[in-house]
Chains A and B, each alone.
Chain A
């Protein structure tokens, strides 16, 4: 089927089989390999992308279903070559990863969370990432990265004395 996808702000036209998942389409046809296959049955979360701004599993939908919606991948939240978003930077600051396989998904979940809730509690951060399995870290440094990013993003563009 011929479809048009709005990926990271650009419309791409491509031919897909109906059975091609959004994940496989991103990886194999658009060379956006930041989304990873972990289980392909919707449990591990490594394939997470933002679908109209909300974190979803790209292995649990077909590419043909994405027509008309805005898909954001990890490549789309990276500000530019060699540049990191605040959240990407705090993941580096706390070393919120090890092997890096679940990391793009974690970063995207953090983006979705902080867009919605700029001041999450620890419990809210834990809950937000609970659908994404990290086998390396035990999550502590991921939670810290997101908390630190929230703090920095709240602090940005505010007069110094108004920061907490």
Chain B
């Protein structure tokens, strides 16, 4: 299980990386490499050139920018996991990160790499879609932005143009009485998810839902926002019956994925349950209640 031969470049800056990428359509960017290198070992991926962006210092950061938290593309998942700013401002992301692989893969794996890889089960992609994150990329010497919801279009498929390099992602920060919920089910605790669900809510002083975002992942080709459910639930109290009805309705017509590990029926059914749980956790946390996460006692 050895990778096919390739050339290796370690550009000093982002535009140099773009130029290298533009020069060879079979070249690939490597960030953490936690998926790519395994695929290369099995020769399921065989880039002619690897463009290593790990040492471009400008791509690794976590900082507050206006009403957002901006995270550089090569920021390691383990750094995000332990970052106090993320914990304070992006509790939903903080909640989901420990579910990515193992500590040893989060030590190398990056936020940008996970987003660009666009695995349907990826936690980062789910949170980006849930929070309406904006992804930044560089192409042909210019900077561009794309909404997370417009970025993921299929399993391992994104709208990132050929020759472009993802540079970072900005997650909007919600204020007010905000609560979050994240649930995931898999065979073993660190496996690829069968289903993930994320929810973030903001409650008014009266306890009514002012703002809500709900998504499920690993169920369809890319993370799915439950917009109709959000519409239905806004203004309400997020009680069990209402959430159940809204979520069930939103997932009624989906074409769920099926594979060796989970049937389509399973994914569809459990997506409803986990989305309900995520919303319930988010509501309770917004109300100041203590809610235990199901696993990962971090």
A45: chain B residues within 8 A (beta carbon): 102, 104
Contact between chains at A56 and B37 (CB < 8 Å): no
B104: chain A residues within 8 A (beta carbon): 45, 48, 55-57, 109, 131-132
Contact between chains at A42 and B6 (CB < 8 Å): no
Per the bound structure, the CA–CA distance linking A59 and B107 in Å amounts to: 14
Chain B interface bracket (under 10, 10 to 19, 20 to 34, 35 or more) = 20 to 34
- Output the least CB separation between A102 and chain B (Å): 13
Contact between chains at B54 and A65 (CB < 8 Å): yes
- Output the least CB separation between B103 and chain A (Å): 6
Given contacts A62-B8, A65-B54, contact A41 B102 (CB under 8 A): no
Per the bound structure, the CA–CA distance linking A62 and B52 in Å amounts to: 10
Interface positions, chain A 45-87, Cβ under 8 Å from B, are 45, 48, 51, 54-57, 59-62, 64-65, 68
B241 CB within 8 Å of chain A: no
| Residue-wise interface mask of B (1-43) relative to A, using a CB-CB cutoff of 8 A (1 in contact, 0 not) | 1111111101000000000000000000010011001101110
A123 CB within 8 Å of chain B: yes
- Output the least CB separation between B107 and chain A (Å): 5
A164 CB within 8 Å of chain B: no
Chain A interface bracket (under 10, 10 to 19, 20 to 34, 35 or more) = 20 to 34
A155 CB within 8 Å of chain B: no
Interface positions, chain B 99-123, Cβ under 8 Å from A, are 101-105, 107-108
| Residue-wise interface mask of B (193-234) relative to A, using a CB-CB cutoff of 8 A (1 in contact, 0 not) | 000000000000000000000000000000000000000000
B297 CB within 8 Å of chain A: yes
Contact between chains at B37 and A62 (CB < 8 Å): yes
Give which listed residue, A1, A17, A61, A109, contacts B108 with CB less than 8 A. A61
Contact between chains at A54 and B37 (CB < 8 Å): no
Binding site for B on A (CB under 8 A): 1, 17-19, 21, 24, 40-42, 45, 48, 51, 54-57, 59-62, 64-65, 68, 109, 123-124, 127-128, 130-132
